[in-house]
Amino acid sequence: MEDSVAEWARLEAARRNTSVSRLVGEMLAEKMRRTDRYERAMREALQFRPVPFEGPFLKRDEIYAERLDRFR
């Protein structure tokens, strides 16, 4: 570990009134939870199957006609 990183960890642990070991453990646990949430969300997103679109595609002017009329 780089000296500057170790120094930051000591200062941060002191600021939080905890040990460096506990600080690192908490940071790793949080990283693990975020990674797990991300991977779970990615799996769910990849399983999502949109309903096939049926019908004609609208032109841009048709989509925004109502909004454009408000400003005229």
Q: Per the domain annotation, does 69 fall within a domain?
A: no
Q: Per the domain annotation, does 64 fall within a domain?
A: no
Instruction: Give the range of the structural domain holding residue 45, as residue numbers without chain letter.
Output: 3-52
Could you tell me the pLDDT band of residue 2, with boundaries at 50, 70 and 90? very high
* Greater model confidence, 1 or 25: 25
Q: Per the domain annotation, does 25 fall within a domain?
A: yes
Q: Per the domain annotation, does 45 fall within a domain?
A: yes
Domain count for the chain: 1
Residues 23 and 12: beta-carbon distance below 8 Å: yes
Cα distances (Å, whole numbers) of residue 4 to 10, 12, 57:
10, 12, 58
The tens digit of pLDDT for each residue in 35-58 reads 999 999 999 988 877 778 788 888
